[in-house]
Chains A and B, each alone.
Chain A
Amino acid sequence: MKLLARAVIDKRSAKAIVGVAVLLTAAALLLANDVEQDDDLLAFLPEGNADVALFQEINTRFGGLDVALVGIDAPDLFTAAFLTRLQTTTQALDDLEDISHAMSIANLEDVSPNKEAGGIQMAALVDAIPTSPEAEEALRQRVMSRDHVVGNLVSRDGDAVLIYCFTGHGSDPKVVAEQVRKVVLDQFDDRAVYWGGSPFISTWIYSTTQADMARLTPWSIFAIVLILLITFRDAFGVLISLISTGMGIACANGLMGLMDVEFNIVLSSMPVLLFALGSAYSIHMLARYYALEPQYGCEEALRRTVIGLGPVVLAAGGTTVAGLLSFIAMDIQPMRSFGLFTAVGIGSTLLLSVTFVPAVIRLMQLKGKAPGLDLSGPTVALVSFCRRRRVVIVPILLLLAGGASTLVTTVKARMDSAAFFNEGSPPDLADKFLAKNFGGSTFIQIPVQGDFKQPAVLRQLRYVADTLRLQPHVTQALHIADTVGIANEAMEGVRRVPDSSEKVALLLGFMTGNKGVAQMVNDDRTEALITLKLDTADAAILDAVLHDVEVQVASLGVPRLQVVPTIGNEAQARLVLQEQTRVRLKALARDFGVPMTNQIFEKVRTSLGTLDSRPSRAGIQARLLRWLGSDENFAEVPEGRPALWTELASALASESGPLFEDDIRSVLTDKLGLPADSATVDDLGFSLEVPLAEAWSAEQTQAAAEALVRATGLQVPGGDAGKRFRSRVAAALADLEAPDYGRAVALDADGYALHWAVNGLPVLYRGLSRSVTANQFRSLGLALGLVLIIMIGLFRSPLAGLLATTPTILTLLFVYGGMGALGVTLDIGTSMLASLIIGAGVDYAVHLLSAWQGNDVADAGEQATRSTAVSIWANALMVAAGFFVLTLGDARPLQNVGGLTAAAMLVAGLTTFVAIPALARARSYRSGEAATLALPARQTG
């Protein structure tokens, strides 16, 4: 320090110091230009965490994070005016370069039976814009009858729509969000529009934080400057302080540029942090110089300041650097970057405060002056009071600390969407809109590995999904078995997983390339995803739901499934298939809002084996007649036999079971009067077998469904919804006749291996909460340890070191206790607090104890307070003001960090002037020449 003091006092070397500092800053600024912005919010997920790795894998494979959702209030949904706008918008979104596919009811493809020609009709769901109230009502009926559309693309009340925008590979979420917003608002600027999905949420969090920082940083700096000006009434001193801090920021940014480190959302708060914390060091140097200069003149005052206060400032700054460096113990990469480079910024500012600032003072020959805002009088009174009443103060502090400790234990680490945005913000409104109209926007994902071409495997997947669908708050379970069922309905008229793996493979083959399907199963059909939609984003409820889901998956997610033929194993097949069907029926009842009490469910259980499922002969006949008259029947009616199809349908319809090809041929030969080898008999004989079997099966399951409804007293709704419910029940009952079933077997047995996991944002939030808690302890422990070592080194006494850290420990307890009392949770932002408080808060105790010199303990306290109160309060106030400004923004993390840091700094100042006088036992805590060199002349109150 003596060498440094000589260097800054010497005019030539002072010039050199200033020159080198300016050159280094210029170089750093050049390098800082290369620093780029990293907008990836996923980078904040803890590293080395299996859940995070799985989440990223799932979303890479199934693309769940790549969907932007646009919700629109649409009380006039089925009018020509609205649909035209929706069509235009969907088309325009689909045309965007960064959107691979946009989907709404306006462009949704629909498959329905072709009642006139037979087969299926593929058309747009909205095939024509309605031009009359009747046409509007017809369209409403058509759309609302599509169960896979309602609740996904149209709200259940038909008053809101959702547009899905699947983003292109490698698209920038910000660009996507901006483009989609522009296109939608072109048509719907007069509507309430809600922006959901990852691209909008991540963009909102980033843009809000950046906008807040851009808007509030100048105000924050203004508040800091104002407090400095009021305190010191010295524009030049304030300028020097700001310049040195700015140079420190440039150094940190320059190093980032040099090391190719990108700016992240947390690092964007670095300027405010550095201005608030970093300017303290030059302030302390200036304040002490101003106090000494009138007595000693410029050079001697500077020498005394550098030698006497330099080590103290370095030690105090060192604690802040240590606090920030403790972030390297965290498992979140952007937080480590934040800690490291903010520490570099603070370290640079610290070095400049003992080199550049004194050099400038020397060159400018600054004159000493009294502070403008001197709070030392009341502070001395407080210190004296605490010293005199220490017998009372110490127990009070202990009581308060004890109370705060109790409250600290109530602070919960909780990460959910509320950690990122406030009530009433656009993402919050979108969440509420999606919860109200579309069953929510929080998803639990269950990735499953297995062979999804096997019907038994698909039925097991659906069984687990149905069971989970029945959990509270689960509004929907999306999975490939349902989609295969829908495709199968187009092929053989019944919405169920078909009975052969060839059929499943064929259906999946036809759906290759479909974006919706790609979100449920991979192209190899070896990995599938069950997506549970939840109607809540509340972390406490999510935790409970997640726990239930994990328990169910652990219980039902069998690791190996052996496919066993039903024939020969009837008893076990019945058990398995009936259990799956019961759960299926309960899930269907929930989907359709049909009450299924435990009593009814029990009746279902007892009824399934005894249902009267005799098919209606008339029904079989009608179905067969429809097929015979369709284009799918390529046999032609022989001349002169106009009623032949009716005769055939009547002859082939049988209640006792479907006829097979040979029986059909004999009926044909008989009815047609043609030889068995005629082309017509051949054609019909071949092609009638399947439609006849389908007609028989459909009538049989329909009869069973009616019997079930009668037996259980299910309150089936009327109208189209009731018909659809009955039809779905019939399809579910058809599974009872499956030719095989899945039997859970040991891992080493033959069979299909299955691997189940539970993932999704709720899992990540839980993992992040655990990570935040662990990080908190890790960084807190490291910071406290480093600070204690610095303190013991500075004061060369473990007891003095402990005394210096006592105010900080109390501050931590009070702030975290306050968080507990106010219900503020620990999240990524608030988890930074402890290290900041330790680093910055301990400065006050360092300065006070360093100046602790007197005739007795009381005198030492008074003198120390007089020489440090101004700078300590100035620093506490400016840090508090600088951070408080951040609470005025919209970004929730900044609000929390800003408010709590502001409070913490004021509490740290107060506890320093209360706890140290009450606990100090010595007249001095530093020894040697440096200890007294920088102390101003004795003052008396």
Chain B
Amino acid sequence: MPRLLLILALLAPSAAFAQDGPTLLKTMDEAMARSDDMTFRYDVLNQEPGAEPKLMQLRVWVKDTLRLTEFEAPGDMKGTKALVQGQSKMYIYLPAYKKVRRVSSSLSSGGFMGTTFSNEDISTSEYSPYYDAVLSSQDDVAWTLTLTPKADAQVGYSKLEVKMAKKFEVPLEIKYFNSKGQHVKTETRDGTSCQGKVCTAEVMTMTDHTRGDASTSLTRTEWEVNTGLDDGLFTTRTLTQ
């Protein structure tokens, strides 16, 4: 019996054995979506060349493709909330205005709140619906996938090069290329750790090579998984509370 189990285990579909690009990409998407929900706190450090670094603190709730972000610092922004219900649909709550504003956007580029992360970078939680993948290389630590947009995909990049961790099956590094094929940004995800099967990076850093290597680092200070977030949290009604 143990022998049979071993054979079955070896035959089970596994990323380690199905080393083609599309499968690996799907595996990565699944790995990033292994939780029902997650809650994070981040310290955000924005560094423009020649300027003083800027600090922000965010609290983020994630469930499926829904994402709620609340600014905890700086003081000017405290209490501001953003509810993302898709790549082009967002609600923001501005405490000073006491109102919810619907923001529909067809913009994919442009820094989110002055950071090097664009709205698209922030809101992308899965890649396989938008990109085709080819396995271009691998080493002991990671597979390197080359992602190109699907024909009808509305994305801001012409190519991504993703280093996917063999151990955690999540991205370790993503290189972003513009329409001319130039490498414009690099996102590194360091200190990956797991709670059960759910693995995320402790520090995510996006470096924008077109802005003199301006960078934004998100350092995870709190992380909870599967706390049973209610769907009601991700409604406009909750934004006002």
Residues of A within 8 A of B (CB): 91-92, 94-97, 99-101, 109, 114, 117-124, 127, 168-170, 453, 490-492, 498, 500, 502-503, 505-506, 508-514, 523, 630-632, 634, 683, 686-687, 689-691
Top 5 A-B pairs, shortest CB-CB distance:
A513-B114, A119-B102, A502-B96, A512-B114, A505-B76
Task: Give the CA-CA distance A109 to B111 in the complex, in Å.
Answer: 12
CB-defined contacts of A168 to chain B, threshold 8 Å: 49, 210-212
Cα A462 to Cα B104 with chains together (Å)? 31
The docked-state distance in angstroms from the alpha carbon of A170 to that of B50 is 9
* Additional A-B contact list (8), CB under 8 Å, known A512-B54, A631-B102, A632-B102: A94-B210, A95-B182, A169-B50, A490-B101, A506-B94, A509-B74, A513-B111, A634-B236
A-B contact pairs, 23 of them (CB 8 A): A91-B180, A92-B180, A95-B210, A101-B211, A109-B110, A114-B102, A117-B102, A119-B101, A119-B103, A120-B104, A121-B106, A122-B107, A124-B107, A169-B49, A492-B97, A505-B96, A509-B76, A509-B113, A512-B113, A632-B99, A634-B236, A683-B237, A690-B98
**Contacting residues, chain A, for B51 (C-beta < 8 A):** 523
Residue B115 at the chain A interface, CB threshold 8 Å: yes
User: Which residues of the other chain, B, contact A99 by a CB distance below 8 angstroms?
Assistant: 210
Would you call A506 and B107 a contact (CB within 8 A)?
A: no
Contacting residues of chain B (152-176) with chain A, CB-CB under 8 angstroms: none
Bound-state Cα–Cα, A513 to B214, Å:
11
Q: Which residues of B in the span 203-221 have a Cβ within 8 Å of any Cβ on A?
A: 209-212, 214
Q: How many contacts A-B (CB < 8 Å)?
A: 130
Residues of A within 8 A of B137 (CB): none
Question: Which B residues lie within 8 Å of A170 (CB)?
Answer: 49-50, 212
B104–A97 touching, CB < 8 Å: no
How far, in angstroms, from A442 to B188 measured CA to CA in the complex?
Answer: 44
**Which listed residue (B54, B94, B100, B104) contacts A687, Cβ 8 A?**
B100
* Pair A122/B106 contact, Cβ less than 8 Å: yes
Contact of A523 among B52, B96, B111 (CB under 8 A): B52
Please report the C-alpha to C-alpha distance between residue A630 and residue B96 in the assembled complex, in whole angstroms. 21
* In the complex, chain B residues 87-128 whose Cβ is within 8 Å of any chain A Cβ: 91, 94-107, 110-111, 113-115
The yes or no answer to B77 lying at the interface (CB within 8 A) is yes
Q: Using Cβ atoms and an 8 Å threshold, which residues of chain A touch B104?
A: 114, 117, 119-122
Interface size class of B (residues with CB under 8 A): 35 or more
How many whole Å from B221's CB to the nearest CB in chain A?
21
In the assembled complex, which residues on chain A have CB atoms less than 8 Å from the CB atom of B110?
109
A491 to B105, CA, bound (A): 15
Do A124 and B106 have beta carbons less than 8 Å apart?
A: yes
B209 CB to nearest A CB, Å: 7
Task: Name the contact of B54 in the complex, choosing from A523, A634, A691 (C-beta under 8 A).
Answer: A523
Residue of A nearest to B239 (CB): A634
**Is B178 an interface residue, CB under 8 A from the partner?**
yes
- Chain B positions within 8 Å of A491 at CB level: 94, 97, 99, 101
- Selected from A97, A109, A121, A513, the residue in CB contact (under 8 A) with B113 is A513
A738 to chain B, nearest CB (A): 16
From the candidates B76, B98, B102, B182, name the one contacting A508 in the complex (CB within 8 A): B76
**Residue from B77, B99, B105 in contact with A690 in the complex, judged by beta carbons closer than 8 Å:** B99
Alpha-carbon gap, A687 to B236, bound state (A): 11
B18-55 toward A: CB 8 Å interface, digit per residue (1/0)? 00000000000000000000000000001011111010
- Point out the residues of chain A lying under 8 angstroms from B227, CB to CB: none
Q: Check A506–B101 contact: CB distance below 8 A.
A: no
The answer, yes or no, to whether B184 is at the interface (CB within 8 Å) is: yes
Distance in angstroms from B44 CB to nearest chain A CB is 11
Does B192 lie at the interface of the complex (its beta carbon under 8 Å from any beta carbon of A)? Answer: no
Instruction: Chain A residues near B75: list those with CB within 8 A.
Output: 505
CA distance in complex: A689, B100 (Å): 12
Closest A residue to B99 by beta carbon equals A690
A123–B107 CB distance below 8 A: yes
Our pick among B49, B95, B97, B178 for the contact of A95 (Cβ within 8 Å) is: B178
B240 near A687: Cβ-Cβ < 8 Å: yes
| Contact status B97-A690, CB under 8 Å | yes
The chain B residue with its CB closest to the CB of A127 is B106
User: In this complex, what residue of B is CB-closest to A120?
Assistant: B103
Residues on B with beta carbons closer than 8 Å to the beta carbon of A498: 96
Name the residue on A nearest B106 (C-beta).
A123
